[in-house]
Amino acid sequence: MIELDQRIAEQLTEITLNSSLQVRCGSSNAFLVTSSMIEPLINEFQMGGVYISASRPAPELIATFTEIGIPVDSIQFVDCVSSALLGGTENPYTNISYVDSPIMLESILLRTLFHLKQMPTEQNFVILDSVNALAIYNEERMLAEYLHTFINTFRARDVLSAVVTVPDQTPPSVLANLDLYCTDLIDRGQVVIS
């Protein structure tokens, strides 16, 4: 059983619904950081939301979240990985929708907006995991443009957005844009960028 980072939960009590969080983590603690963020959002604040999984297949995330006691019923997953793996979409979960590739950035945004429209919860979040996974497929300036659109779209809709990034592996211009657009920072990165 992993031990969740309680300071993240404390930090989340101070943010507003239209905030955009930059969540910096290291390559070894990414899952711990995202879990520590989701747990209070679901269990404490009774929020629902969309989890965009570009780093790893959603079924794997669901299994692990369930194992550590995070209920996933109020989370809709937009899985950008499994479609590329033949057989990856064969699983029992009904709360996953698939996007063919992380290069379909607009589709990811539209699919997320669609799920948010159907959310029964009043307060919702969107987690983008992660900028680094998107950067594998997308050109730097397109990714910067996308994050600008992404963050502002959800801020305008009073949806809490959290963008997960490993700073030392993120293109500098993308990181600079995140610094500019995000309203809050959860910093658990291994490298501190001044």
Q: Which residues bind another protein (CB under 8 A)?
A: 100-101, 103-107, 109-111, 113-114, 117-118, 137, 139, 141-142, 145-146, 149, 153
Nearest to 116 by CA among 157, 67, 59: 157
**Euclidean distance between CA atoms 42 and 66, whole angstroms:** 12
Q: Which residue has the tokens 């910096």?
A: 24
> Which helix H or strand E contains 187, and what residues bound it?
strand 184-188
Nearer to another protein, 43 or 152 (CB): 152
CB-wise, 7 or 141, nearer to another protein?
141
CB of 172 to another protein, least distance (A): 17
CA distance 173 to 145: 11
Is 24 or 115 the residue whose CB approaches another protein more closely? Answer: 115
CB 105 → another protein: shortest distance, Å?
Answer: 6
